[in-house]
Amino acid sequence: MVKNIQYLSQKYGGISRFYILSQRYFLISDVKFIEAIMSSTEFLSKGKSYDFLHPWLGQGLLTSTGRRWKNHRKFLTPAFHFNILQNFLPVFVKSGKILTEKLRSYAAQGEPVDLFPIIALTALDNVTESIMGVSVGAQNDSESQYVKAIKDLTNVLAYRMRNAFASSDPIFNLMSMKRVQDRALKVLHDQSIKVIEARRRQLDNMENSSPISEYGIKNKHAFLDLLLLAEIDGEKIDNVSVREEVDTFMFEGHDTTTSGIVFSLFCIANNKEVQEKILQEQISVLGNDMSNDPTYSDIQQMKYLECVIKESLRLYPSVPFIERQISQDTGNTSSF
Ligand code: HEM
């Protein structure tokens, strides 16, 4: 699919039209056309491919639209602030150390290794602990029910996006894959609800527990607290809606970063000169003893590494396309 999309945009330029059965699609890759859609407050409906995510993510930010999206996006905006990452640095450092030890032992074996599943577990540890405030220890227990459920569900999603038959609900519902999806959903939803209910009980017994500090979010349960304490039209958000946002951040946060890290490593592995420059920068920031934990300001000084990651994301974007359903004219026909 990605190859076809690339082919169409190279052959026909910044905008082209194609049909899948009777459904008409416009493929837009030029910013001047994208702007008309993305800067509008009208075109918020997500495309059909997002439907596959509904059983897992319900009406979370990624899949919702209109008023619901606007309301939730408003109170979740602090969760997108860079400063939040400072709170979770100890989590990332802890996971990074486990990863480094694993990579060291793979390197000692001297055999080629598929990094995707290894990095996926690290990313999963990072998001579960920073979003739900609890550790699932995925890197040390890759066979746990929770890790297996995430793997099963992401496999089902990827399959449905590639296969025209499996993408149709009536056919999918008859497939054994539907049962795999149902089992995985039960494990994931039960886990999220358990954590949410426990934290809501704790918050009910506490006073003055605003999760927002001058630096953004402040405690270990930060993201969850932001959701549990938020109000829409004077009402607290119910547990199912909280669960949908938690699951959305869990999905978006681990899948995208895994691809980004793995593709960056792929680019770095293919470029010795870049490897050397990254190493020199690490030594200049951390000194020769790299067993010391990096501080947030150390990481901010790793400018060259940041350029390498951004360039890798440009060459191999974790999210190569997004989709919107448009039901009215963009009103910007002159630029078309
Ligand atoms: C390399 C890393 C990442 C990339 C490339 C990426 C890319 C994207 C893209 C392209 C969208 C827009 C989707 C659309 O509108 O259809 C999006 C939305 C979103 N992302 Fe990420 N993302 C990354 C990391 C993360 C992380 C770490 C989190 C959370 C922990 C996250 C949470 C979200 C959420 C909640 C949305 C929906 C936002 C909204 O509609 O208001 N993402 N991301």
Per-residue pLDDT of the chain (336 residues; tens, 9 = 90+): 788 888 999 999 999 999 988 889 999 999 988 998 988 888 889 998 899 999 999 999 999 998 899 989 988 888 888 887 888 899 999 999 999 999 999 999 999 999 999 999 999 999 988 888 888 888 988 888 888 999 899 999 989 988 888 989 999 999 999 999 999 999 999 989 988 988 888 888 876 555 555 444 556 667 888 888 888 778 888 999 999 999 999 899 998 999 999 999 999 999 999 999 999 999 999 998 888 899 999 999 999 999 999 999 999 999 989 999 998 888 754 444
Tell me which residue has its CA closest to atom 4 in ligand 1: 256
CA dihedral 219, 222, 225, 231 (to 10 degrees): 120
Tell me, in angstroms, the distance from the centre of ligand 1 to residue 120's CA.
16
What is the rounded CA–CA span in Å between residue 265 and residue 259? 10
Residues in the ligand 1 pocket, defined by CB under 6 Å = 61-62, 73, 127, 248-249, 252-253, 256-257, 260, 318-319, 322
- Complete domains list, the chain, with CATH: 40-335 (1.10.630.10)
Task: Tell me the Ramachandran region of residue 21: left when phi exceeds 0, alpha when psi lies from -120 to 50, beta otherwise.
Answer: left
On whether the pTM is more than 0.95, the answer is no
Residue nearest to atom 41 of ligand 1 (CA): 61
* Distance (Å, whole) CA 290 – CA 270: 23
Structure-derived torsion over alpha carbons of residues 29, 31, 36, 37, reported in degrees to the nearest 10: 50
From 53, 252, 255, 306, mutation site for ligand 1 pocket: most ligand atoms within 8 A of C-beta: 252
The alpha carbon of residue 252 and the mean position of all alpha carbons in its chain are separated, in whole angstroms, by 2
Atom of ligand 1 nearest to the CA of 73: 41
Q: How far apart are CA 109 and CA 102, in angstroms?
A: 11
Give the Cβ contact number of residue 307 at 10 Å.
12
CA distance 37 to 44: 9
Ligand 1 atom closest to residue 127's alpha carbon, by position in its atom list: 30
Residue 26's H or E segment, with its range, is: strand 23-28
Q: Output the CA–CA distances (angstroms, integers) from residue 230 to 31, 212, 235, 294, 334, in the order listed.
A: 35, 11, 8, 33, 42
